[in-house]
Amino acid sequence: MPVDDCLFAVTAEDKGAVRLVCVNLAGLKAGLSPGMTLADARGIAPDLVTLPEEPQRDMAFLKALQRWAEKFSPWTSCDGTDGLLINITGCAHLFDGEEAMRRAVLEEFSDLQVEAAAGIADTKGAARAVARFGLRPGTGGAGIIQPGETRAALAAYPIEALGIDDKTIFELKRLGLKTIGELYPLKSAELTRRFGFGLLRTFEKLMGATGDPVIPASPLPGFAARISFPDPIGLQDDVEEALRRLIAQVCKRLSEQGHGVRALRLSFQRADKSEGHLDIGLARPSQDAGQIFRQFRLKLGTVDAGYGIDMMRLQAIATEPFRPVQQRFATAEERSQLDELIATLGNRLGFDRVLSWEPVSSHLPHRAFRFVEAAGAPVTPSWASRPQKRPLMLVGHELVEIIEPGRPPQAFKWRQDAFDLAGASGPERIGHEWWKGADSGAIRDYWSVQTKQGMRLWLSTRPDGKPPSWEVAGVFP
């Protein structure tokens, strides 16, 4: 089947149903439309080819197209999740006019194997309407709206071409308004009173009564540096010196932009044109050249220089805003050492295997913390201050064998060892979290007991237990 005749759509799950979110031109001509359920679409077009939506990849591709579109005009931006806006004011004459420029843009998209539609108009909203709805029956099919003809040209366009939310479109259709031209006789006060200022502002922007400029996307700062060598290098001392210079350049740019780096990639190009890469990660955003170099140095021994290295390039592949916090010198030094330890272990074992505790809002000991990746964890976790002391290790309420009863028992056996009570403090009653359901636990009484054998344990029992049973809940250091 020719590509132009292929019925294609992108689908996504919405409220328990699979719906079309994007349809190609052949699908639109066949009667398909975004929002339609896949079952209905199959009934209209049994040969429909679909793929599931991948929002992150789609947005990355759209941003790449936006940068590519700067060849036509420096004023470009993304329009939602599937459109581009280009301000061609002062640029059309470079392509022998607006129509020639529109054809050139579409030809470029065709070369990229991207199916696209383009519209040109005085306003951003009108150009969007032409591109998205201009090929539908009854709209005239014109790709360009001449200056001063926006109002007349858009009169036959469907109400969806306004670019407003679905709820407002539904309300307009319920009143019998199906085209943009049917809004013209209505007064602004009536539209505002019925639908709010949002519809009025959109309508005014569409007609050019209110400014709606194309705001170009701000380019993201790049943090990379490269160095080429007149002769290939292979000695580790030479590689380390080149790496130091690259790190210094990248850290200088990070400092100028107020960013810190979380992950970097060092690339090598060898004399035989083969390439190699080294990746490292850091525990938190950093501008410390020494720390970055030490992490790379741990891996430089694995680099195969081959017949020599011609070029090295260092790139920051993950950055975040860098906000240094003023601390006491000892605390800052300890934090820096801990960050470097986390980074070293993470680069060796994987950052998902280096974990730390994070406080959780719960008064139950076994629910008052969770394990998270140590990299990026808060510098000072907000642990709730409690007057009660908690054991360092929780053991999950292991039953004990009572030898001499009492409250708490005077002698008991746990893990095949016998213990005699030397002293105890308690009880501390901890209630269950009833708002979390029936599985939130039961009310328990806890004692901190000191045994004659030296161990300090945390014993618990249920106050309503008949007969009472005792358990070891934790071990104190």
**Does residue 384 lie in a domain region?**
no
**In this structure, are 39 and 104 located in the same domain?**
no
Question: What is the pairing mode between strands 275-286 and 259-270?
Answer: antiparallel
**Does residue 269 lie in a domain region?**
yes
Distance CA 218, CA 359 (A): 38
Among candidate residues 280, 296, 324, the one where a domain is terminated: 324
User: Tens of pLDDT along 262-285?
Assistant: 889 999 998 888 888 889 888 788
**In this structure, are 60 and 201 located in the same domain?**
yes
**In this structure, are 77 and 188 located in the same domain?**
yes
* Mean local confidence (pLDDT), 462-477: 80
Omega within 30 of 0 (cis) for the link into 467: yes
* Mean local confidence (pLDDT), 24-47: 88
**Does residue 22 lie in a domain region?**
yes
Phi, psi of 254 (to 5 degrees): -60, -45
- Whole-model pTM: value is 0.50
Band (pLDDT 50/70/90 cuts) for residue 330 is very low
* Mean local confidence (pLDDT), 311-317: 92
**In this structure, are 63 and 192 located in the same domain?**
yes
Q: What share of the chain is helix, strand, coil (3-state, %, to 5)?
A: 35, 30, 35
Half-sphere exposure of 297 toward its Cβ, with a 13 Å CA cutoff?
13
**In this structure, are 83 and 170 located in the same domain?**
yes
**Does residue 388 lie in a domain region?**
no
**In this structure, are 203 and 231 located in the same domain?**
no
**Does residue 424 lie in a domain region?**
yes
**In this structure, are 165 and 83 located in the same domain?**
yes
Task: Assess contact for 394 and 366: CB atoms under 8 A.
Answer: yes
Give the residue ranges of DSSP H helices in 397-442.
none
Task: Assess contact for 277 and 309: CB atoms under 8 A.
Answer: no
Task: Assess contact for 155 and 184: CB atoms under 8 A.
Answer: yes
Of 68, 22, 63, 56, nearest to 41 by C-alpha is 22
Distance CA 124, CA 404 (A): 85
Q: What is the dihedral of CA 341, 346, 351, 357, to 10 degrees?
A: -20
Distance CA 41, CA 17 (A): 12
Which pLDDT belongs to residue 313? 93
Among candidate residues 277, 299, 324, the one where a domain is terminated: 324
- Determine the structural domain holding residue 130 and report its residue range: 56-207
- Greatest distance between any 2 Cα atoms in the chain: 101
**In this structure, are 148 and 19 located in the same domain?**
no
**Does residue 359 lie in a domain region?**
no
User: Tens of pLDDT along 182-221?
Assistant: 888 888 888 888 888 888 888 888 888 888 888 777 666 7
**In this structure, are 40 and 172 located in the same domain?**
no
Of 381, 366, 377, 370, nearest to 444 by C-alpha is 366
Q: What is the mean pLDDT of the chain?
A: 82
**Does residue 136 lie in a domain region?**
yes
User: Tens of pLDDT along 108-131?
Assistant: 998 888 888 888 988 888 898 888
CA pseudo-torsion sign 137, 142, 145, 149: negative
User: In this prediction, what percent of the chain has a pLDDT beyond 90?
Assistant: 12
Among candidate residues 207, 235, 258, the one where a domain is terminated: 207
**In this structure, are 40 and 111 located in the same domain?**
no
User: Tens of pLDDT along 335-375?
Assistant: 667 777 777 777 777 776 777 766 666 656 666 666 677 77
Which pLDDT belongs to residue 314? 93
Task: Assess contact for 224 and 257: CB atoms under 8 A.
Answer: no
Q: Residue holding tokens 């295997």?
A: 353
**Does residue 333 lie in a domain region?**
no
Distance CA 325, CA 341 (A): 20
**In this structure, are 106 and 12 located in the same domain?**
no
* Mean local confidence (pLDDT), 392-404: 79
Band (pLDDT 50/70/90 cuts) for residue 242 is very high
How many independent structural domains does the chain possess?
4
Which CATH number characterizes residue 47's domain? 3.40.1170.60
Task: Assess contact for 87 and 74: CB atoms under 8 A.
Answer: no
CA-only gyration radius of the chain, Å = 34
Element (H, E) at 290: helix 289-300
**In this structure, are 70 and 201 located in the same domain?**
yes
Distance CA 134, CA 127 (A): 9
